Amino acid sequence: MKHTRNTPTANQINDLINKKKPSQYTQFFKNYHEADIAEELSNLTIEKQYQFFVNVHPELGAIVLEEMTLDQQIELIKQLKITVAAKYIEKMEPDDAADLIEKLQDTDKTKAQEIIHSLPQSDAEDIQELLTYKPDSAGSIMTSQHISIPENLTVKSALNHIKKQNPPDSEISFYIFITDKKHRLLGYTTLRNLLMTPGTEQVRSIRNDYPIKAHINDDQEEVALL
């Protein structure tokens, strides 16, 4: 049995924008995939797109913004107030946010810097670090977000440790890196493995000892081959 994905129309998005009710945006995102929303939103005027992103909560809007082209992102960010733009940058994946800021610097360096200064310090530092890497390097496409746990924990303690790290709602939360006392990478496991293993077991017992790793200065194509 084939499953057909429900897709929105530009008219439906336009109606949503005109109603200006944040609660209806939440329901809309439950019904439609963010990539489909982004595609249809692109068919509307920049004024309508602006209204969409002003009305929707940045946590929801950011996942749609990430699905749009970099040029479309720049055009929208230029329209938003600094504080609102910063909220969107904060909710985006760090590597996507860094790409946007880097592109914005080419045409409006002042606004790019103002947005960075409006971010929480940790987010600002992450983006500024990603901006230092060469465009074709592994560092330029990596994310600073990750979850790690010490190898000497029990599975139960490890799950509590992960909760305290407030894992993001993305694929980043699936792979869990395992480190020694000096925070050196030893291996990895998955969230599924942790959930399916008895709480009294040691993390090291479900550790995969052969993580694929690359240096930040490695070329992107070499990393892709890995």
- Higher-pLDDT residue of 171 and 47 is 47
pLDDT of residue 174: 85
Q: In which band, very low, low, confident or very high, does the pLDDT at 217 lie, cut at 50, 70 and 90?
A: confident
CA distance 36 to 45: 17
pLDDT of residue 114: 96
Do 16 and 24 contact (CB within 8 A), yes or no?
A: yes
Question: Kind and range of the H or E element at 177?
Answer: strand 175-179
pLDDT of residue 162: 86
Tokens coding 38: 């982004």
How big is the chain by its Cα radius of gyration, in Å? 20
Nearest to 216 by CA among 109, 154, 141, 147: 141
Nearest to 65 by CA among 45, 83, 42, 82: 42
Half-sphere exposure of 127 (CA within 13 A, CB side): 28
Note the pLDDT tens digit of each residue in 79-135: 999 999 999 999 998 888 999 999 999 999 999 999 999 999 989 998 998 888 887
CA distance 7 to 9: 7
- pTM for the model stands at 0.72
Q: In which band, very low, low, confident or very high, does the pLDDT at 218 lie, cut at 50, 70 and 90?
A: confident
Note the pLDDT tens digit of each residue in 192-208: 999 999 999 999 999 98
